[in-house]
Amino acid sequence: MKSHTEYLWFNTKKHREFINITEDVEKALAKSQIKEGLILVSAMHITAGIYVNDAEDGLIADIDEWLEKLAPFRADYQHHHTGEDNGDSHLKSLLVGHQAIVPVTNGKLDFGPWQQVYYAEFDGQRRKRVLIKVIGE
């Protein structure tokens, strides 16, 4: 078995953003030369997430609205007593999850219809990274 590791770096212009990183994941897979295996895509920060879903603007807006309803910005989070003001960002990350695993078959991402890999930023405007780890043969 062999492995290949790459990092993506983000410094978003907005506090919350959803970025399609499928092409970056495909490039890492091509560099790895792995034909059969798995790719782990992992946000390396506790206020960001990774998910797999459709790349449709209406759905992305719905996801953003849903997350804001479930974990709205509020001034009274206990976390804010530490001097931070991003309690909602941590909660949104927990809802989305911080990583996804995508199967690799015949050297390609083995997706279902419409599936894409997204980086979800919930506390942006500062430098953050994502790990891509390809494992297989």
Domain ranges of the chain: 2-74+84-136
Cα atoms found within 13 Å of the Cα of residue 100, Cβ hemisphere only:
22
When the pLDDT of each residue in the chain is averaged and rounded to a whole number, the result is 97
CB atoms within 10 A of CB 1: 7
Assigned fold of 2-74+84-136: Jelly Rolls (2.60.120)
Residue 129's Cα: distance from chain center in Å? Answer: 10
* Tens of pLDDT, residues 21-58: 999 999 999 999 999 999 999 999 999 999 999 999 99
User: Could you tell me where the DSSP H helices lie in 33-111?
Assistant: 57-70, 87-96
Q: What is the pLDDT of residue 29?
A: 98
The arithmetic mean of pLDDT across residues 7-20, rounded, is: 97
Provide the token pair at 32.
Answer: 């790895």
